[in-house]
Amino acid sequence: MKLHELKNVPGAVHRKKRVGCGEGGGHGKTSGRGGKGQTARSGGSIRPGFEGGQMPLYRKLPHRGFNQYRFRTEYEVINVGDLGKLDAAITEVTPAVLAAAGLIRANDAPVAVLGDGEISRVFKITVARFSASAKAKIEKVGGQAITA
């Protein structure tokens, strides 16, 4: 299938609703806007959360509390099993090496190594964080897990 062969499913395309063209068209008189008032006017919209002057729900609920979401540290994550994709000549692994190999994004986020997968080669890995299982697997084959 190619782009020029794509066709819409029958019923997916509707004709444009022509409003204000008389009663015979089915959308005459008020043009689908109901009766009179603010919502019938052009540009007449009511902001989200407005309840007609009644005390809105978002003002009734308590706005208290705190969490650390804004202050969290987001890590670039790589698994131990992914280290096998590196070139055979590489023994020292840093975030720059991983970014050059395309295993992580090249940004300033700290790198965390997790323990999914197996490792067979010896690496000297210098990153921000290791999981306990990743550190154990790296050291089991004779490598070094250095926290930077």
Count of CB atoms situated within 10 Å of the CB of 141: 13
| Helix, strand or coil, per DSSP, at residue 36 | coil
Domain ranges of the chain: 17-48, 71-147
Q: What are the C-alpha distances in Å from 88 to residues 93, 94, 121?
A: 12, 15, 9
> Quick one: pLDDT at residue 131?
97
Q: What are the C-alpha distances in Å from 92 to residues 99, 126, 128, 143?
A: 13, 8, 15, 10
> Quick one: pLDDT at residue 25?
87
> Quick one: pLDDT at residue 63?
86
Write out pLDDT tens, residues 11-49.
999 999 999 999 998 999 999 999 999 999 999 899 999
Q: Are 125 and 93 in contact (CB under 8 A)?
A: yes
pTM for this predicted structure: 0.58
Beta-carbon contacts of residue 87 (< 8 Å; ≥ 6 apart): 101
Q: Both tokens of residue 77?
A: 């994550």
Nearest to 127, CA basis, from 85, 98, 84, 89: 98
Q: Was domain 71-147 assigned CATH 3.100.10.10?
A: yes
Write out pLDDT tens, residues 60-82.
999 888 999 999 999 999 999 99
Write out pLDDT tens, residues 80-126.
999 999 999 999 999 999 999 999 998 889 999 999 999 999 999 99
